[in-house]
Amino acid sequence: MRALTVGEVMTRDLVTMRSGDTLAALRDRMYEHQIRHIPVVDDGGYLVGLVTHRDLLRNTLMERPRSSAYVEDSILEDLRVEEVMTRKLEVGSPNMPLRDAARVMLDKKYGCLPVVDGQRLVGILTESDFMRVYLYED
């Protein structure tokens, strides 16, 4: 069996945010697209950070367990993506062997690996992408 590359498996239809967007907008996008990871890009499409569902939770209910929905919405409207995003990211490239990407994700306990060409975001590799490979393997 031929070894697959990240570029052959990664998700290319990306949902992204900008660093100045609110966490409320990010939450809405996550729910709308049913995703748990959103790369943050600048105006040129260059990767500047990543926000995960866990980051979102950490800044809402987990920090304020007795908050009402109104208070939570207010907090998310006040917080910007740049305040919670992870900036130092491990990334993959489209020509990276899939096995190497899997090792990074497993060793570091990452749920995703942003994929860049140079610094420009071109995809994201998620646990779901690995499931698709397994399910549709010939």
Domain ranges of the chain: 6-135
Residue 73 has pLDDT above 50, yes or no: yes
Cα–Cα distance list, 19 to 85, 91, 97, 116 (Å)? 8, 18, 30, 18
User: Where does the pLDDT of residue 62 fall: very low under 50, low under 70, confident under 90, or very high at 90 and above?
Assistant: very low
DSSP for 31-89?
HHHT-SEEEEE-TTSBEEEEEEHHHHHHTTTTT-TT--HHHHHHHHHH-BHHHH-B-S-
State the Cα–Cα distance between residues 121 and 44, nearest whole angstrom.
10
Query: What's the whole-model pTM score?
Result: 0.86
Residue 48 has pLDDT above 60, yes or no: yes
The CATH number fitting domain 6-135, selected from 3.10.580.10, 2.40.30.20, 3.20.20.150, 3.40.50.280: 3.10.580.10
Residue 63 has pLDDT above 60, yes or no: no
The pLDDT value given to residue 19: 96
Cα–Cα distance list, 117 to 7, 56, 75, 98, 102 (Å)? 10, 27, 35, 16, 19
| Average pLDDT of the segment spanning 38-49 | 96
